[in-house]
Structure 1
């Protein structure tokens, strides 16, 4: 049995950026966060003024931490925290790409990767040390307040 010949466009397209891998749900969520920002501050405002990396990292972490602590939506706007976190990341990426990022990241954080690599074996050590234990691990499902 002979195989169907490949469309020449397939051969070329197979080596391009695989945009189909980005989940449409992430786009939809991110659009809510960006719509909120557009209505409050103006669409694309960061491209005019530029953005400090630390401000958007802080905002992103606040939204992620609130979501991880069980709060689905921001109390001030009602927008999902994950929407706002995605918007923060999108703005950082866009600002970096367009040359509008004010890069105020920590100076010389080169030791971070080495620290993570140094501490990682401790996780397995602790798992081995406590392998006979069966503690209960509580999640949001335990308090019945999942939104």
Structure 2
């Protein structure tokens, strides 16, 4: 079992690194649809149903970001959700996952008319952390890439 550090070190000297990194990224992204489904289900179950908030958040996109250069090298899950077109360019899913959601004060959506309300934390991190299938796919992809590099 190799490590990501070994892979990054060996990739620098390997000529066909583009093919290896593309294969690794493809393999690491295979289990993401199952994780996406679990996160969306958890959002509907845990977040407030009043006003359709949980259902609205559940329409987020979940992708795997694979980066094999620099200090931030690694594979991680990223969730995004666009906000209201006229007020918010995007939604702060990290804050919602931590248990604080922005809500309009009495239906007003102008600047300064929003407040925070507490919600149950962990709608994203708990299903993502419990995704052993994804963790295994990433480890297998790294091992496979190291094997290809070492064979030459």
Do both share a fold (TM > 0.5)?
no
Point out the structure with the larger strand share: 2
Whose Rg is larger? 1
Point out the structure with the larger helix share: 1
Q: Taking CA–CA contacts closer than 8 Å with sequence separation of 6 or more, which of the two structures ends up with the larger relative contact order?
A: 2
TM (normalized to structure 1)?
A: 0.26
